[in-house]
Amino acid sequence: NPISKLYTLNSKLLNIMEKAKVLETIKAAGEPINAGKVAELSGLDRKIVDKAMKQLKEEGEIISPKRCYWTAK
C-alpha cells in the first residue's frame, strides 16, 4: 500500500529530525543537561525527547557523566 509506505517513511524521517534536534540541543548546552532542560531548550515535547534520548543512548551518541544528565559523546 503506497499510503502506508509513505506514512512509515514520514514517521522515520520525523524521528531522525527529532533525534538530530535533541543531539544539537545537548551539544549546544556545552554542559551535561537533563531531559527536562532538553525539552525546554529544544521546544520539543518531553515524551519525544525521552524517546529520542533513549535511541541516542543506544546508538552511543550521548553518555551520562552523572545520574540523569547527558552530554554528547
**16: pLDDT confidence band, cut at 50, 70 and 90?**
very high
Look at 17 and 7; give whichever has higher pLDDT: 17
Checking 70-73 for CB contacts under 8 A at 24+ apart, the result is 70/26, 70/32, 70/33, 70/34, 70/35, 70/38, 71/26, 71/31, 71/32, 71/33, 72/23, 72/26, 72/27
Instruction: Return the residue matching grid coordinates 514517521.
Output: 11
Instruction: Return the residue matching grid coordinates 547527558.
Output: 70
φ, ψ for residue 30, nearest 5 deg:
75, 0
Report the pLDDT value the prediction gives residue 33, as an integer from 0 to 100.
Answer: 98
Query: Does 7 score more than 90 pLDDT?
Result: no
